[in-house]
Homo-oligomer: A and B are copies of this chain.
Amino acid sequence: MLTELQNHLNQKFAFLKEKKLLLAISGGVDSMVLLDLFRLLNYDFAVAHCNFKLREEASDLDEKLVLDYCLKNQIQTFSNSFDTEKYASLNKQSIQIAARELRYQWFDTLLEVNGFDFLLTAHHLDDSVETFLINFTRGTGIDGLLGIPETNHKIVRPLLIFSREQILDYAVQNQIIWREDASNATTKYLRNKMRHDVIPILKSKNEDFLNTFQQTISNLNDVKNLMDDACYFVKSQVSIPSKFILELDIAKLLQFKNHKAYLYQWLKDYGFKAWNDIYDLINSETGKKVYSEKFVVLKNRNVLILDRINYQNHNFFLIFEEDNSIVSPISLIFESLKSEKLEISNKDEICIDEDKLIFPLKLRTKEEGDYFFPIGMNGKKKISKYFKDEKFSMFDKENAWILENGNQEIIWIVGHRMDERYKITKQTINKFKIKLTQ
């Protein structure tokens, strides 16, 4: 007779039968039950075991248990040892975060190299409650209160609807051998504290707590889906077709009472932290910017622009005649010169013949084959040669900005050397100053 767990797999996860699976098996009771179930039900799978070398001999015994089981049952096995403590210390991470990162990096590689369709883990309902409470304790938004997802890209968690108790019962009834992780018993970690001290209280106050929890996160998932609908509807109403990732019409945005909450939702995955600065952009002057590590939000007249900052990927920024604010990691000021006097005081400024400019100008990093006519020199020079002669470091070269005219001629290696062709001559009628300010 099939158990409840087996039935559930047969019904809900039948689609996995035709797939090539990788099971993440630690040797603990949850993963050994997962392993036993998938072996009994004849799925096509291999096993991956991580030895984090955190509990000396115990870690090696865990590994041996998994390898022995797989050898006996002729299951293909991948095993990997990590120097987790060293990795954590190098990356200034907690041991738990480091182990998680190492584990998933390796799993990703295994999936890709060996063509597995899905990675399966043995997470269960109690894990999901713990995750909810951990996120709640640390502070979170709706995403942190949805529990662990049953499927998430290539990860599937077939035991997620079952409690720790149900899994333990299955293990005992089916005489499954597993190893206890001694670190699970301590309450040093937040997760264990939740497991041993908090959740038992909640369960004592509601006999049906785990089912209640499932209903609660199902309700919250619905809420999240409707919120996502709202974000999509409103974005389609306030965004403008654009070459940028996102371009928002501020006047239209302000028609929505919850415009700050929408901005947050649209921008939250781009690494920004200074949310109040972003909200302030709505009323700030043109050209004001807020940066994350890889992205920037810019106020430009009546729009907000989200774009990627990309110093190295031959990304470029266009500079229009009527618009002196550009989305770029450096600021240039453009100014028509009224006086006859040229006040060029340093390498951060150039004075050029305005009538030779063809807008839009382009601000970009170096490209293969670039050359220019260094001012004061006779003839042209490859940019790569110029960089070499000036002893630019690799980093300097990759981060040097080049200002290109609309006819593809180089006007200026910004902050370094301008082009002979653009200098002021006796024929020059209109003079133009460009100044680097950051």
Contact = CB atoms under 8 A, between A and B. Distances in A.
Interface of A: 133, 136-142, 145, 190, 193, 197-198, 201-202, 205-206, 209, 212-213, 215-216, 219-220, 222-227, 229-231, 233-234, 256-258, 260-262, 264-265
Among A141, A145, A226, A231, chain B packs the most CB atoms within 10 A around the CB of: A226
A225 B137 contact: no
7 contacts: A136-B202, A138-B212, A141-B220, A198-B202, A222-B258, A229-B234, A229-B258
A317 B136 CA distance: 50
Contacts of A234: 229
B137 A202 contact: yes
B137 A219 contact: no
B226 A258 contact: yes
A231 B233 CA distance: 11
A335 to B, nearest CB: 43
A140 to B, nearest CB: 6
Contacts of A260: 222
Given A138-B206, A198-B198, A230-B230, A264 B222 contact: yes
A177 to B, nearest CB: 34
Nearest to A135: B216
B223 A142 contact: yes
Contact of A141 (B133, B141, B190, B219): B219
A71 to B, nearest CB: 42
Contacts of A140: 216, 219
Contact of A223 (B137, B202, B223): B223
Nearest to A223: B142
A225 B234 CA distance: 13
Contacts of A139: 206, 212-213, 215-216
A259 B352 CA distance: 62
Nearest to A212: B139
A233 B205 CA distance: 39
Given A198-B202, A229-B234, 13 more contacts: A141-B219, A142-B220, A145-B220, A190-B205, A193-B205, A222-B258, A222-B261, A223-B223, A223-B227, A225-B261, A226-B258, A226-B262, A227-B230
B206 A265 contact: no
B222 A137 contact: no
Given A137-B205, A190-B205, A201-B198, A226 B220 contact: no
Q: List the 6 closest pairs (A to B, CB-CB), nearest first.
A: A139-B212, A230-B230, A222-B261, A141-B219, A226-B230, A226-B227
Contacts of A222: 258, 260-261, 264
A300 to B, nearest CB: 26
Contacts of A138: 206, 212
A222 to B, nearest CB: 4
A289 B229 CA distance: 29
A376 to B, nearest CB: 58
A22 B42 CA distance: 70
Nearest to A145: B145
A333 B257 CA distance: 49
Contact of A226 (B137, B209, B261): B261
A265 B258 CA distance: 19
Contacts of A219: 140-142
A216 B143 CA distance: 11
A224 B223 contact: yes
A141 B223 contact: yes
Contact of A229 (B209, B230, B264): B230
Contacts of A230: 226-227, 229-230, 233
A343 B261 CA distance: 67
A295 B146 CA distance: 32
A48 to B, nearest CB: 31
Nearest to A136: B216
A209 B137 contact: yes
A360 to B, nearest CB: 37
